[in-house]
């Protein structure tokens, strides 16, 4: 009898239990709506302790954890909710939110698709799934979902923003701008939309409009603080740098890039993406390069490469700067690093990197005296360009490669081969005086004096500020074996011009002394030979110094130097 009475009481209590737990979940929902998240979580903890099979309690706690930013716990509770109530749309929806926040975009897309199956009338699900598709990198699917959403909700600004984002990722920038224009029209005071619009205008090269849009974005209340404001300020400085660089004011560009990087350093939120600072360092390196301040440019590129070590653009520019700085071995290693990024690629940059690697390796072994190997490697560089459908190098780079191969042939005394290569160098860069000097020297070696004279004169015409052009013409006019082309008076004038253009080169003093001796003015010859000796570098070998002192003694004895062959070509 007592047992039966107890059993009835227990059954009554058990029937009331779910109602009590439900009251707890309802109370938690009210607390969450009021922003009292931790208190709501405590009540839901109690509800789950009382009934661990109530899916709604797990779903509610998932929502609280999501709002608190604890996405891992939110996902754990959502998994429980889905397991307990596999036909409840809200469980999948909250799990999708948590998964998206944790970067698990595939699960987010799958869950939102399930929610659409369970609740196909909720148009916002297309918007949410489209965002998840973007995170997954499936921008065509994201575009389709944005269009489905807008078909049902054409006046929702967020839908047009989602459409713009998908178009932007698909590199349909004009269409993206049209979409964000509509979002701004619908919500003209939304700073985030204006911020996005500014970025698109920037991508389209409409820099001044982009700058005005950033200013408009920063004037909106939602941009008064936080990550979006920091990003807008950073981008505004960055854009100002781009405008200054476009206008040729490279110092101002650097100042603006400095300010943008400072914003990043002071804002922890902006550090979540390394792409932006890496690109800023790259752009500042470009400005330093345009100022010919290579060490500063290399320092910025080193930082860009540190942040994004596999970015081909950064590696390629860095290798090119090392090449321009004459650091050939480091540049060669730089191009090897470029080629290591994508061995299967057939893009233009890869062919260019192969060309420069072979060219550099040829230049390096030539300086080491391995002339035949240098020619083989330079052959490979030239052949790589000739095989390409379009010219992948500038005419000046091609000219330099042909010139260097011509130097190797010259040093091997294969003067006919060197003539062909120097001729090609001139064809690709007809205004470079050194290439005419080198071809003239090859002609001179072959005793083709008229052609040598023509090229030496042309070198002076093409390089009126090039001291070597005058120095070589002076040497030819005093040392040519054929009397028709000797002219000591002209040689003196040319040598004086070389000294005038470059007083720091002691070699020109020696040539001027030689021309005066050939002219018979030994007082001037002694004067300039003495100046030659006085300005020679301290590390000049004693043997070389002794030879020049012997020349000085000959001039004092009024003995001119014998004629001689031309010197080796200049690089």
Number of residues in the chain:
571
Structural domain contains residue 21: yes
Give the model's confidence band at 222: pLDDT under 50 very low, under 70 low, under 90 confident, else very high: low
Structural domain contains residue 69: yes
Predicted pLDDT of residue 3:
41
Give the model's confidence band at 218: pLDDT under 50 very low, under 70 low, under 90 confident, else very high: confident
Q: Regarding predicted confidence, which is higher, 238 or 422?
A: 422
- Please, what is the end-to-end C-alpha distance for the chain in angstroms? 115
What's CA 304's distance to the chain center, in Å? 8
Taken in order 229, 232, 235, 239, the sign of the CA dihedral is: negative
- Following CA atoms 253, 255, 256, 259 in sequence, which dihedral angle do they give, to the nearest 10 degrees? 160
131: its two tokens:
């965002």
**Neighbour count for residue 106 (Cβ, 10 Å):** 13
pLDDT digits (tens, 9 = 90+) for 147-174: 999 999 999 999 999 999 999 889 899 9
DSSP state of 393: S
Number of domains in the chain: 2
pLDDT digits (tens, 9 = 90+) for 423-453: 999 998 999 999 999 999 999 999 999 999 9
pLDDT digits (tens, 9 = 90+) for 508-547: 898 999 999 998 999 999 999 898 888 888 888 888 889 8
163: its two tokens:
């459409």
Q: Give the span between the Cα atoms of 367 and 351, in whole angstroms.
A: 24
As a whole-number percent, the residues of the chain with pLDDT over 90 amount to 31
100, 122, 144 - which closes a domain: 122
What are the Cα distances from residue 104, in Å, to 14, 244, 311?
A: 40, 41, 25
Structural domain contains residue 542: yes
CATH number at residue 498: 1.25.40.10
> How much is the mean pLDDT over the chain?
84
Predicted pLDDT of residue 250:
93
Q: pTM of the prediction?
A: 0.59
DSSP state of 560: P
Structural domain contains residue 545: yes
Structural domain contains residue 415: no
291: its two tokens:
């100022």
122, 145, 175 - which closes a domain: 122
Q: For tokens 């006046």, what's the residue?
A: 155
91, 122, 153 - which closes a domain: 122
484: its two tokens:
């028709």
DSSP character string of 102-130: TT-HHHHHHHHHHHHHH-TT-THHHHHHH
Predicted pLDDT of residue 101:
86
Predicted pLDDT of residue 423:
95
Nearest of 361, 432, 363 to residue 395 by alpha carbon:
432
Predicted pLDDT of residue 421:
93
286: its two tokens:
């470009």
Structural domain contains residue 285: no
Domain that holds residue 471: 455-571
What are the Cα distances from residue 14, in Å, to 6, 18, 19, 305, 466?
A: 12, 8, 9, 66, 102
Structural domain contains residue 375: no
- Following CA atoms 281, 282, 288, 294 in sequence, which dihedral angle do they give, to the nearest 10 degrees? 100
Over residues 235-245, mean pLDDT = 87
DSSP state of 483: G
pLDDT digits (tens, 9 = 90+) for 351-401: 777 777 887 788 888 878 888 888 888 888 877 777 765 555 667 777 888
320: its two tokens:
């090119």
Predicted pLDDT of residue 327:
84
What are the Cα distances from residue 16, in Å, to 42, 180, 193, 292, 411?
A: 21, 54, 51, 82, 103
> ∠ at Cα 544 (543, 546), nearest 5°?
65
Q: For tokens 């910025």, what's the residue?
A: 300
Q: Regarding predicted confidence, which is higher, 103 or 249?
A: 249
459: its two tokens:
């070198």
Predicted pLDDT of residue 563:
58
Q: Give the span between the Cα atoms of 173 and 168, in whole angstroms.
A: 5
pLDDT digits (tens, 9 = 90+) for 10-38: 343 344 445 666 787 788 788 888 888 88
Q: Regarding predicted confidence, which is higher, 201 or 281?
A: 281
| 227-230: Cβ within 8 A, 24+ apart | 227/267, 227/269, 227/270, 228/191, 228/192, 228/195, 230/263, 230/267, 230/269, 230/270
Structural domain contains residue 498: yes
What are the Cα distances from residue 361, in Å, to 332, 379, 431, 434, 478?
A: 7, 11, 26, 22, 38
């Amino acid at each position: 009898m007592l047992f039966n009475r107890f059993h009835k009481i227990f059954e009554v209590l058990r029937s009331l239990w779910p109602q009590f737990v439900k009251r707890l979940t309802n109370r938690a929902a009210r607390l969450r709506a009021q922003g009292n998240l931790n208190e709501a979580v405590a009540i839901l903890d109690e509800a789950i302790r009382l009934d661990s099979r109530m899916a709604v309690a797990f779903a509610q706690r998932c929502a609280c954890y999501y709002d608190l930013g604890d996405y891992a716990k939110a996902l754990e509770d959502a998994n429980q909710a889905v397991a307990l109530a596999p036909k409840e749309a809200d469980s999948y929806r909250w799990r999708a939110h948590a998964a998206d926040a944790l970067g698990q975009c595939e699960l987010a897309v799958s869950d939102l698709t399930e929610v659409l199956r369970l609740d196909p009338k909720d148009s916002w699900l297309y918007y949410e799934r489209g965002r998840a598709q973007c995170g997954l990198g499936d921008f065509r699917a994201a575009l389709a979902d944005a269009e489905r959403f807008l078909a049902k909700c054409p006046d929702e600004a967020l839908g047009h923003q989602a459409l713009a984002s998908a178009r932007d990722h698909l590199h349909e920038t004009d269409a993206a701008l049209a979409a964000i224009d509509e979002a701004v029209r619908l919500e003209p005071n939304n700073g985030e939309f204006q911020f996005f619009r500014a970025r698109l205008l920037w991508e389209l090269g409409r820099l001044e409009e982009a700058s005005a849009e950033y200013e408009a974005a920063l004037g909106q209340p939602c941009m008064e603080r936080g990550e979006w404001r920091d990003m807008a300020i950073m981008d505004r400085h960055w854009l100002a740098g781009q405008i200054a660089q476009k206008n040729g004011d490279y110092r101002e560009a650097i100042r603006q890039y400095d300010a943008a990087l400072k914003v990043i350093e002071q804002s922890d939120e902006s550090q979540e993406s390394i792409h932006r600072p890496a690109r800023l360092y790259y752009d500042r390196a470009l400005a330093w390069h345009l100022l010919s301040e290579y060490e500063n440019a290399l320092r910025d590129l080193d930082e860009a490469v540190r942040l994004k070590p596999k970015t081909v653009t950064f590696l390629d520019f860095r290798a090119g700067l090392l090449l321009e700085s004459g650091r050939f071995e480091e540049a060669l290693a730089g191009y090897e690093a470029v080629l290591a990024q994508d061995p299967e690629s057939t893009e233009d940059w890869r062919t260019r990197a192969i060309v420069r690697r072979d060219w550099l390796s040829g230049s390096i072994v030539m300086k080491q005296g391995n002339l035949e190997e240098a020619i083989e490697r330079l052959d490979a560089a030239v052949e790589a360009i000739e095989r390409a459908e379009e010219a992948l190098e500038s005419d000046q780079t091609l000219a330099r490669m042909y010139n260097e191969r011509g130097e190797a042939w010259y040093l091997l005394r294969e003067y006919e081969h060197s003539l062909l290569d120097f001729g090609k160098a001139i064809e690709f860069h007809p205004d470079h005086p050194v290439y005419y000097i080198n071809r003239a020297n090859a002609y001179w070696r072959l005793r083709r004096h008229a052609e040598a004279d023509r090229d030496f004169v042309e070198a002076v015409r093409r390089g009126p500020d090039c001291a070597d052009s005058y120095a070589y013409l002076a040497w030819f006019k005093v040392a040519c074996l054929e009397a028709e082309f000797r002219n000591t008076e002209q040689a003196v004038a040319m040598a004086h011009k070389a000294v005038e253009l470059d007083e720091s080169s002691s070699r020109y003093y020696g040539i001027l002394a030689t021309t005066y001796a050939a002219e018979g003015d030994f007082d001037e010859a002694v004067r300039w030979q003495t100046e030659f000796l006085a300005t020679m570098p301290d590390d000049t070998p004693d043997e070389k110094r002794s030879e020049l002192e012997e020349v000085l003694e000959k001039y004092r004895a009024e003995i001119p130097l014998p004629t001689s062959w031309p010197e080796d070509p200049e690089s």
